[in-house]
Chains A and B, each alone.
Chain A
Amino acid sequence: MSMAGELVVEKIENGTVIDHIPAGMGMKVLSILKVAAGSKIALLMNVTSKRLGSKDILKISEKQLDEKEVNRIALVAPNATLNIIKNGSVVEKSVVCLPHELHGVARCPNPKCITNSERIETRFAQEEKNKFRCYYCEMLFDTNELSL
Chain B
Amino acid sequence: MLRNRDIISIRDLEKSDIELLLKRAEEMEKALASGKRLNLLNDKIIATVFFEPSTRTKMSFQSAIKRLGGQNLNFSSIESSSMKKGETLADTLRMIDGYADMIIIRHALEGSARYAAEICAHPVINAGDGGNQHPTQTLLDLFAIKRMKGRIKGLNVFLVGDLKHARTMRSLLYGLAMFNANITLISPQGLEMSRKIVDEARERFGANITERTTMDLSDADVAYICRIQKERFADPYEAEMAQRNFRITMDTLNGVKDDLILLHPLPKVDEIDPEIDSTKHAKYFEQAKLGVPMRMALIAEVMGV
By a CB distance below 8 angstroms, the chain A residues around B196 are: 140
**CB contacts between A and B, total, < 8 Å:** 50
By a CB distance below 8 angstroms, the chain A residues around B110 are: 110, 112-114, 136-139
The B-contacting residues of A in range 20-35, CB under 8 angstroms, are: none
Q: In the complex the two chains form, is A135's CB within 8 Å of B109's CB?
A: no
Q: In the complex the two chains form, is B109's CB within 8 Å of A113's CB?
A: yes
B133 at the A interface (CB under 8 A): yes
User: Chain A contact residues (Cβ within 8 angstroms of B): what range?
Assistant: 10 to 19
B34 at the A interface (CB under 8 A): no
Q: In the complex the two chains form, is A136's CB within 8 Å of B115's CB?
A: yes
Interchain CA distance A114-B111 in the complex, whole Å: 5
The A-contacting residues of B in range 129-172, CB under 8 angstroms, are: 129-133
Instruction: Tell me which of A114, A115, A119 has the highest count of chain B C-beta atoms within 10 A of its own C-beta.
Output: A114
User: Using a Cβ–Cβ cut-off of 8 Å, how many residues does chain B contribute to the interface with A?
Assistant: 19
Interchain CA distance A139-B130 in the complex, whole Å: 12
Known contacts A118-B89, A118-B90, A138-B132; decide if A112 and B108 are in contact (CB<8 Å): yes
By a CB distance below 8 angstroms, the chain A residues around B107 are: 114
Binary B-proximity of A104-140 (CB < 8 A = 1, otherwise 0): 0000001011110111100000000000001111111
Interchain CA distance A135-B11 in the complex, whole Å: 12
Known contacts A113-B110, A118-B90; decide if A138 and B115 are in contact (CB<8 Å): no
Residue of A nearest to B114 (CB): A136
By a CB distance below 8 angstroms, the chain A residues around B11 are: 138
B9 at the A interface (CB under 8 A): yes
Q: In the complex the two chains form, is B109's CB within 8 Å of A138's CB?
A: no
B88 at the A interface (CB under 8 A): yes
Q: Report the minimal beta-carbon distance from B229 to chain A, rounded to whole angstroms.
A: 15
B184 at the A interface (CB under 8 A): no
Interchain CA distance A135-B196 in the complex, whole Å: 17
By a CB distance below 8 angstroms, the chain A residues around B131 are: 112
B130: contacting residue among A112, A118, A119, A120, CB under 8 A = A112
B112 at the A interface (CB under 8 A): yes
By a CB distance below 8 angstroms, the chain A residues around B90 are: 118-119
Q: Which residues of A contact B (CB under 8 A)?
A: 110, 112-115, 117-120, 134-140
Q: Lowest 9 A-B CB distances belong to which pairs?
A: A136-B111, A137-B110, A114-B111, A137-B111, A114-B109, A114-B112, A112-B110, A114-B115, A136-B114
Instruction: Return 8 A-B CB contacts under 8 Å, by A number.
Output: A110-B110, A112-B108, A114-B111, A114-B129, A120-B115, A137-B132, A138-B110, A139-B132
